[in-house]
């Protein structure tokens, strides 16, 4: 017979998965706003952001309740403390996705100073990182989590490439400056999302092995 | 079993020995009392000579004699008829009182002999009294202590306890060995049950006859169970095979949304190919798609069947959510999710709607032109006979184009519904030559060379269709060619295939259009068809004719380099030459 604590742990797990699904959708939609210039998703991203914040509070309360009432030890304690850390990163990803959508709103009626090539690539890479970090959490897959950690370099490199491109554009024409700054901010947010995904992956590794390495 | 046996034996032996003890003590006590009385009687009777009791000295010597002869305490009293004690060897112990009312004394004075047993407060125990009249005025009374029956028991009890202890050990050993002996064949039977049941009927183990029906029954049950297991296994394998080989995704979850069963296609379609089904894995661990999870919830809660189409990448999946309801009960006990790949249907749907839009557009364009010119003439805007002639010519051209298009559409639908009744042997070489001669003029005007390399190939088909097919292919190659270009037609036959290859040096087709050029009314360059003419149905007709004869169309093309279309018909049996 399963006891109450096990049930609670499973519920916590499901809540985390649900929150993971929310941030995935949120970041996908904000990328759509940016790349496909689709305004209708902005409201959805904002709604999702509120839902993600609620979810964070719910999970936090749940974790603290478990810690206080059940006084878990060993791996159970690890799972709960991991959950507490993960939701912070998840919530930040939700915020960043929302920020991207917000900046994209201003860009929608502007002509891009250059065709977006690397930013969509970066968005894809960041989305894939978030997706895989949550997959790694769901399947308790250490290898996948490690893969996500190393993929952060790709996102970082893309950020440098984008930065250099935009510097060139500003040098070409000073009027490009305003849009270039918006674009660099989007790139920075994507880079942050990559970092948070990496953090999640690190916490996944911690919950499996009990060792947290800050690379 | 052992405990019980031990207990039973113990109880029986303890009660039996206790009863035996009690009975023997009772009997022995009777004997003892009788013996006490008799001894006393004998002594008194023997010493009752009256001269023995005459005078103090005589009495003392007699009493001493008697007391020396017996080894127990004894009281001897001589009482006169007034009840006064004349002599008592226990006089120092007892306060002499009147003995007249003692029953044995009264009796002795009356009958000569008297006896009584009663509790003596002086001695704190039962005493037996025997009185005898020794002369007219005196009675001799002897008395002696009689042990009570309780004191007998008191003495016997320790022995009895020893006996019980001994019994305990004995019974324990006996019970142990008995149980072992009784259980041995049963244990043996249990141990060799598997062998016994595996059909080795010859192998008999030593069992009690009383167990024979039991072992028979067990054997029978085992056969039955084996049969059930086989049936269940077969059923499970069948269901497993069916679900695993299904192209559709199959997911079964219970009301807690734990996945009970999922097939490979299901994992694939849910986008989680590496999902392994352990115990209690929630559907959320399979997919985090909210649209799906929302409908899972809705279907379970509201107990209704839901169909949902979801695009995943380039594919489109249709999800069927069917609640599972246990018979008798009204509650939903699970949910069956079937996923069907409806990409082809969706594409076909899109193509169909595009087709009808295209058809109406294509048919409307010439009509609009015609009506425009006709109105201008009717309203008298054009009066110049030369211009009227020119515009009528244009109306005529558009009309002809319209008819050509409608004919193409009719042909296309005919080909779609054609059967092989009017098939005959067609010489592909001859047909190709005919087609080339028809198109030679057009080719010359566009400065395109036509080359035919064909063996004597025969094919069972409708000649009109084959001619149509070649005409369309060659016509396209001429139309979309360059100045000084060429069109090469190869026709040959192997054991398996008849191959028709038309290769040109024309403009080629960009990669993004290559998938779609066989669709009806599809044009690579929407603005060009005015100058080249045509209905946009040519390649579509080619494709339909090819498919009618079970063939395949292969397109190889590079932009600005040329196009090569290869058609392969499979050969069924020998019918040439």
**pLDDT band at residue A50 using 50, 70 and 90 as cut-offs:** very high
Closest CA to B29 of B185, B151, B136, B112: B151
Buried b (16+ CB within 10 A) or exposed e, B445-459: eeebebebebeebbb
Residues of A in contact with B272 (CB under 8 A): 135
CATH no. of B2-152: 3.30.450.20
Alpha carbon distance B208, B184 (integer Å)? 10
Query: What is the reported pLDDT for A2?
Result: 57
The CATH number of domain B424-570, selected from 3.30.565.10, 3.30.379.10, 1.10.8.60, 2.40.110.10: 3.30.565.10
- Rounded to an integer, the average pLDDT of A187-192 is 92
pTM (two decimals): 0.57
Alpha carbon distance A10, A4 (integer Å)? 10
Do the first three CATH levels of B2-152 and B248-335 match, i.e. the same topology?
yes
Quote the DSSP letter at residue B135: S
Query: What is the reported pLDDT for B408?
Result: 82
Strand partners, B323: B335
Query: What is the reported pLDDT for A193?
Result: 92
Most confidently predicted of A52-61, A133-142, B164-173, B545-554: A52-61
**Among the listed ranges A145-149, A164-168, B80-84, which one has the minimum average pLDDT value?**
B80-84
Query: What is the reported pLDDT for B527?
Result: 59
**pLDDT band at residue A194 using 50, 70 and 90 as cut-offs:** very high
Which mean pLDDT values do the consecutive 10-residue runs of chain B (577 residues) have? 81 88 88 87 80 76 81 81 78 64 83 84 80 82 82 83 88 85 78 66 62 80 91 92 88 87 86 76 84 88 89 86 83 88 86 82 84 87 84 87 84 73 80 86 86 84 84 86 86 86 85 79 64 71 84 86 88 57
C-alpha B262 chain-centroid distance: 14
The CATH number of domain B248-335, selected from 3.10.129.10, 3.30.450.20, 3.40.50.970, 2.60.120.1140: 3.30.450.20
**CATH top-level class for B347-416?**
mainly alpha
Query: What is the reported pLDDT for B531?
Result: 55
Alpha carbon distance B412, B410 (integer Å)? 5
Q: How many CA atoms lie within 13 A of A86 on its CB side?
A: 33
Instruction: Tell me the domains of chain A and their CATH numbers.
Output: 2-209 (1.20.58.220)
Which of B271, B284, B311, B313 should we substitute to test contact with A (largest number of A Cβ atoms within 10 Å)? B284
Query: What is the reported pLDDT for B92?
Result: 65
Residues 137-176 of A with CB under 8 A from B: 138-139
Query: What is the reported pLDDT for A1?
Result: 45
Query: What is the reported pLDDT for B188?
Result: 76
Query: What is the reported pLDDT for B526?
Result: 61
Interface residues of chain B, partner chain A, Cβ below 8 Å: 272, 274-275, 280, 282, 284-285, 288-290, 293
The shortest CB-CB distance from A18 to any of B272, B274, B284 is to B284
Query: What is the reported pLDDT for A108?
Result: 80
Closest-CA distance, B275 to chain A, in angstroms, reads 8
What's the ipTM? 0.77
Alpha carbon distance A98, A110 (integer Å)? 20
Collapsing DSSP states into helix, strand and coil, what is residue B528? coil
Residues of A in contact with B288 (CB under 8 A): 17-18, 20-21, 24, 134, 138
A21 at interface of B, judged by CB pairs closer than 8 A: yes
B303 Cβ partners below 8 Å, 6+ apart?
B323, B325, B332
Closest-CA distance, B284 to chain A, in angstroms, reads 7
- Rounded to an integer, the average pLDDT of A38-59 is 89
Which of A13, A23, A135 should we substitute to test contact with B (largest number of B Cβ atoms within 10 Å)? A135
Q: How many CA atoms lie within 13 A of B325 on its CB side?
A: 14
Tell me the domain boundaries of chain B. Answer: 2-152, 248-335, 347-416, 424-570
Contact (CB, 8 A) for B443 and B478: yes
């Amino acid at each position: 017979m399963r006891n109450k604590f096990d049930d609670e742990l499973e519920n916590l797990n499901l809540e985390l998965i649900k929150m993971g699904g929310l941030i995935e959708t949120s970041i996908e939609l904000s990328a759509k706003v940016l790349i496909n210039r689709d305004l209708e998703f902005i409201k959805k991203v904002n709604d999702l952001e509120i839902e993600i914040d609620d979810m964070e509070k719910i999970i936090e309360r749940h974790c603290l309740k478990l810690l206080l009432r059940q006084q878990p030890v060993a791996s159970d304690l690890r799972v709960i403390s991991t959950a507490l850390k993960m939701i912070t990163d998840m919530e930040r990803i939700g915020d960043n996705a929302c920020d991207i959508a917000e900046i994209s709103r201003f860009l929608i009626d502007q002509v891009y100073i250059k065709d977006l090539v690397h930013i969509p690539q970066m968005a894809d890479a960041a989305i894939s990182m978030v997706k895989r970090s949550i997959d790694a959490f769901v399947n308790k897959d250490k290898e996948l989590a490690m893969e996500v950690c190393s993929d952060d370099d790709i996102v970082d490199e893309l950020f440098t490439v984008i930065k250099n491109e935009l510097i060139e554009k500003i040098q070409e024409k000073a009027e490009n400056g305003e849009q270039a700054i918006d674009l660099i901010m989007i790139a920075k947010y994507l880079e942050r999302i990559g970092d948070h995904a990496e953090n999640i992956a690190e916490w996944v590794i911690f919950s499996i092995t009990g060792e947290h390495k800050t690379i | 079993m052992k405990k019980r046996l031990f207990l039973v034996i113990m109880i029986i032996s303890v009660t039996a020995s206790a009863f035996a003890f009690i009975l023997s003590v009772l009997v022995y006590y009777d004997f003892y009392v009788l013996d006490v009385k008799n001894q006393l009687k004998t002594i008194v009777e023997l010493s009752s000579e009256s001269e023995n009791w005459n005078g103090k000295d005589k009495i003392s010597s007699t009493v001493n004699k008697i007391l020396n002869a017996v080894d127990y305490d004894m009281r001897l009293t001589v009482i006169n008829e007034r009840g006064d004690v004349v002599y008592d060897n226990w006089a120092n112990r007892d306060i002499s009182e009147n003995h007249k009312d003692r029953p044995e004394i009264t009796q002795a004075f009356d009958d000569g002999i008297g006896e009584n047993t009663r509790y003596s407060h002086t001695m704190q125990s039962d005493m037996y009294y025997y009185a005898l009249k020794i002369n007219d005025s005196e009675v001799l009374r002897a008395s002696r202590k009689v042990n009570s029956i309780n004191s007998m028991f008191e003495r016997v009890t320790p022995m009895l306890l020893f006996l019980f202890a001994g019994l305990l050990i004995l019974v324990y050993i006996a019970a142990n060995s008995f149980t072992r002996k009784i259980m041995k064949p049963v244990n043996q039977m249990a141990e060799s049950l598997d062998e016994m049941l595996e059909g080795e009927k010859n192998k008999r183990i030593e069992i009690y006859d009383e167990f024979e029906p039991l072992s028979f029954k067990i054997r029978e049950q085992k056969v039955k169970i084996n049969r059930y297991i086989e049936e269940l296994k077969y059923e499970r394998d069948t269901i497993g095979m069916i679900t695993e080989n299904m192209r559709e995704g199959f997911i079964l979850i219970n009301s807690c949304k734990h996945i009970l069963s999922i097939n490979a296609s299901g994992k694939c379609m849910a986008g989680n190919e590496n999902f392994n089904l352990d115990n209690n894995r929630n559907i959320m661990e399979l997919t985090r798609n909210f649209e799906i999870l929302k409908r899972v919830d809705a279907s379970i809660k509201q107990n209704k069947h839901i169909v949902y189409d979801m695009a995943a990448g380039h594919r489109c999946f249709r999800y069927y959510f069917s609640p599972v309801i246990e018979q008798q009960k009204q509650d939903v006990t699970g949910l069956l999710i079937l996923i069907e790949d409806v990409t082809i249907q969706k594409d076909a749907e899109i193509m169909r709607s595009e087709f009808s839009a295209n058809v109406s557009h294509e048919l409307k364009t010439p009509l609009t032109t015609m009506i425009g010119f006709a109105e201008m003439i009717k309203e008298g805007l054009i009066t110049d006979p030369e211009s009227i002639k020119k515009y009528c010519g244009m109306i005529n051209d558009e009309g002809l184009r319209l008819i050509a298009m409608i004919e193409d559409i009719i042909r296309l639908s005919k080909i779609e519904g054609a059967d092989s009744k009017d098939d005959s042997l067609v010489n592909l070489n001859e047909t190709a030559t005919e087609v080339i001669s028809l198109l030679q003029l057009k080719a010359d005007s566009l400065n395109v060379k036509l080359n035919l390399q064909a063996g004597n190939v025969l094919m069972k088909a409708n000649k009109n269709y084959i001619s149509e097919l070649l005409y369309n292919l060659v016509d396209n190659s001429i139309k979309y060619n360059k100045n000084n270009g060429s069109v090469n037609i190869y026709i040959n036959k192997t054991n398996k295939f008849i191959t028709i290859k038309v290769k040109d040096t024309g403009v080629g087709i960009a990669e993004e259009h290559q998938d779609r050029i066989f669709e009806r009314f599809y044009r690579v360059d929407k603005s060009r068809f005015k100058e080249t003419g045509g209905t946009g149905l040519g390649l579509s007709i080619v494709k339909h004719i090819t498919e009618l004869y079970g063939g395949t169309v292969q397109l190889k093309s590079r932009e600005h380099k040329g196009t090569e279309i290869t058609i392969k018909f499979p050969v069924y049996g020998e019918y040439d030459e």
